Amino acid sequence: MPIYEYGCKDCRRKTTVFLRSFSVEPKALVCDSCGGSNLVRLISRVAVVKSEAARMEAMADPSSWGGVDENDPKSIAKMMRSMQNQMGEAVDPQMEEAIEKMEQGEIPDEPSYGGGMEDF
């Protein structure tokens, strides 16, 4: 959730604004303290938009995956989904199928691909 800080020119207090989404810009902002509307956006301490490099870095850091249980296929699937979202790219169908299996609690091990695959 993006957090913006505004400074009030009237009373010189700070007002913190929580936005529900990244795309909504608050329109009628008023100061929490005096009700004035002379607010100026302050540079937020919170990095709302990460750079591409920072995103890749976060992905490379396993702790940012939020405690993936390697023995729990659903947990792995969740992590992979989140990586997918970060990449913003389509996944190849085989990977997609594997993730779907894991979401159902199955472990898509290699032999399960066997069988019919050679027909393609």
* HSE of 6, CA atoms in CB hemisphere, 13 A: 24
Nearest to 2 by CA among 39, 47, 60, 38: 47
Catalogue the E-assigned strands of 19-68: 39-42
**Residue of the chain from 2, 7, 26, 36 that contacts Zn ion (CB under 5 A):** 36
**Residue of the chain from 3, 10, 42, 100 that contacts Zn ion (CB under 5 A):** 10
C-beta of 8 vs 102, nearer to Zn ion: 8
What is the number of other CB atoms lying within 10 angstroms of the CB of residue 64?
Answer: 13
C-beta of 34 vs 59, nearer to Zn ion: 34
* HSE of 117, CA atoms in CB hemisphere, 13 A: 7
C-beta of 13 vs 50, nearer to Zn ion: 13
Contact flag: residue 77 with Zn ion (CB under 5 A): no
C-beta of 20 vs 27, nearer to Zn ion: 27
Contact flag: residue 11 with Zn ion (CB under 5 A): yes
What does the binding site for Zn ion look like in residue numbers (CB under 5 A)?
A: 8, 10-11, 31, 33-34, 36
